[in-house]
Amino acid sequence: MINIASKNKKLSRAVGGVKEKYPHFRYYLKSKHPALITGEHSKDEYKYRKVMHSKKDGNRTNEKVYPNPRPGDYKPMYIGKRVRHDLKSNFEKNILPWKYPGKKKK
């Protein structure tokens, strides 16, 4: 007897297409602001961090990104340290062309 579950997994991987590269930026449709997508929380959800111009998010200090990856924006970009998750349908389908510089090694 053929194991249908394993056959379907193989088929879905083949049909699924290209895997996404993390981290990348997308617009978060609920807040209408960009978000840094850091990975997948589950099959239907992304893990993300908020992008903003303020130094603090409540009592938490944000990570400063220099230079700002958004062309033409003279204000520094800050990314919240707290990782959140939400449905993939709440993010725009197109990936923004900005590059996340990451942390510099000393």
Query: Which stretch of 1-5, 63-67, 89-93, 99-103 has the lowest confidence by average pLDDT?
Result: 1-5
Q: What is the pLDDT of residue 89?
A: 97
pLDDT per residue as tens digits for the range 63-80: 999 888 888 998 999 999
Q: How confident is the model at residue 92 (pLDDT cuts 50, 70, 90)?
A: very high
Task: Give the pTM.
Answer: 0.76
Which stretches of the chain are assigned E, i.e. beta strand? 24-28, 33-42, 45-52, 56-57, 60-61, 63-65, 77-79, 84-87
pLDDT in tens, 24-57: 999 999 999 999 999 999 999 999 999 999 999 9
